């Protein structure tokens, strides 16, 4: 079975982990945490980086720092992971959804302005699958209406919009280091910002709002700390950032070479204005009438793992039960959910596995036959 993702951990990970164990520094107070934060901030062109337990934790803290009140509104894409909406709902705020652009699959920025009201406090930008949202339009609208921007760059390690790194926009940005990301710490996340006050506040929120003296807490917060063990892996991974990024782009380009001439598929663009795709995953839309679930089942039978695209927020059962998004439809997001899937595309995939996965997909679509994985 070819896995959807295979991380590469054959650099200095073992060496740095052994150092943590021999020194006894395994908690969040170890030296690798600060080192990882400093190196990551430099990579994404920010002044400050605050490590946390996972990408969802990073979003929770980022949204908490908006100081939302009951009834405030946050604009975000309908097509994204549920982590983006959790803290908005907990704050009593209202998520306002935007449908996707049918070509890039990102939030359609031309539909944002019509959703802005006097209760709009922020836009949550989510870069999808390795291509950026049009940040020129986001920044224009945000400045025009005086609203804040938070950037979820969990799927955008190494991605640039123009000459700026994704992760350098807005009041703060968030990242994930789950194993399917460009660099991984197993679990883990990061908040990055240029604002020293937000840096200080984020560090408080990830650490139970500890003050002095110890065990005195200035408000309600989380224990969202990253351990020294995780950060040690992160330091080893970041040493290979450029190598891994080149692999990801090459993987995506190879899939494009093998699949781009098929009318039965719509591929994620290799590039758009102001950006080159870094292929967090290699996504396809099935265009021959078959559902993505049917194609995924056939791929599984041929030894190829795959994943469905995100279920849109307005269709999430747990959110519908709360009475959210009643009567709302987002046709492009729904199409992506019904017909989208992504193929094996991790940093550790080989060219032969890409070739086999592409050939198997063609067979599942009734286009071609294959002889089996050699």
Give mean pLDDT, residues 150-178.
98
**Cα(329)–Cα(327) distance, integer angstroms:** 7
Could you tell me the pLDDT band of residue 373, with boundaries at 50, 70 and 90? very low
Could you tell me the pLDDT band of residue 62, with boundaries at 50, 70 and 90? very high
Cβ atoms 166, 125 nearer than 8 A? no
Give mean pLDDT, residues 225-238.
98
pTM of the model: 0.95
DSSP conformation class of 99: P
DSSP conformation class of 314: G
Angle, alpha carbons 151-153-156 (nearest 5°): 145
Q: Which tens digits make up the pLDDT trace of 85-130?
A: 999 999 999 999 999 999 999 999 999 999 999 999 999 999 999 9
Angle, alpha carbons 197-148-161 (nearest 5°): 100
Predicted confidence (pLDDT) at residue 370 exceeds the cutoff of 70: no
Q: Which tens digits make up the pLDDT trace of 192-224?
A: 999 999 999 999 999 999 988 889 998 899 999
What the chain holds in terms of domains, given with CATH numbers, is 13-238 (3.40.640.10), 241-364 (3.90.1150.10)
Give mean pLDDT, residues 80-84.
98
């Amino acid at each position: 079975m070819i896995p959807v993702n295979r991380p590469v951990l054959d650099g200095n990970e073992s060496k740095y982990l052994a150092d943590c164990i021999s020194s006894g520094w395994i908690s969040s107070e170890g030296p690798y945490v600060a080192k990882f934060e400093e190196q990551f901030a430099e990579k994404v062109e920010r002044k400050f980086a605050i490590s946390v337990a996972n990408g969802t934790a990073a979003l929770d803290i980022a949204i908490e720092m908006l100081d939302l009140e009951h009834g405030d509104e946050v604009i975000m894409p309908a097509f994204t992971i549920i982590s983006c909406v959790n803290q908005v709902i907990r704050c009593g705020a209202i998520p306002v959804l935007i449908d996707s652009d049918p070509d890039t699959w990102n939030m359609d920025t031309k539909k944002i302005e019509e959703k802005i009201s006097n209760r709009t406090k922020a836009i949550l930008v989510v870069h999808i699958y390795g291509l950026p949202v049009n940040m020129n339009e986001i920044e224009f609208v945000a400045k025009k209406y005086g609203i804040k921007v938070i950037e979820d760059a969990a799927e955008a390690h190494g991605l640039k919009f123009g000459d700026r790194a994704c992760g350098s926009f807005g009041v703060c940005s968030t990242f994930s280091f789950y194993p399917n990301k460009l660099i991984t710490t197993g679990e883990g996340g990061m908040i990055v910002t240029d604002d020293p006050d937000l840096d200080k506040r984020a560090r408080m929120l990830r650490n139970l709002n500890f003050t002095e003296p110890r065990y005195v807490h200035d408000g309600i917060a989380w224990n969202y700390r990253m351990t020294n063990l995780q950060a040690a892996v992160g330091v080893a991974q970041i040493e290979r950032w450029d190598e891994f990024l080149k692999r990801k782009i090459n993987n995506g380009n190879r899939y494009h070479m093998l699949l781009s001439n098929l009318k039965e598929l719509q591929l994620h663009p290799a590039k758009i204005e102001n950006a080159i795709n870094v292929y967090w995953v290699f996504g396809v839309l099935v265009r021959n009438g078959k559902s993505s679930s049917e194609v995924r089942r056939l791929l599984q039978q041929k030894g190829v793992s795959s994943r469905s695209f995100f279920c849109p927020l307005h269709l999430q059962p747990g959110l519908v039960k709360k009475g959210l998004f009643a009567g709302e439809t987002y046709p492009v997001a729904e199409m992506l959910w019904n017909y989208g899937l992504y193929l094996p595309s991790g940093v550790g995939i080989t060219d032969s596995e890409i070739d086999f996965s592409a050939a198997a997909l063609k067979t599942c679509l009734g286009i071609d036959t294959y002889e089996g994985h050699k």
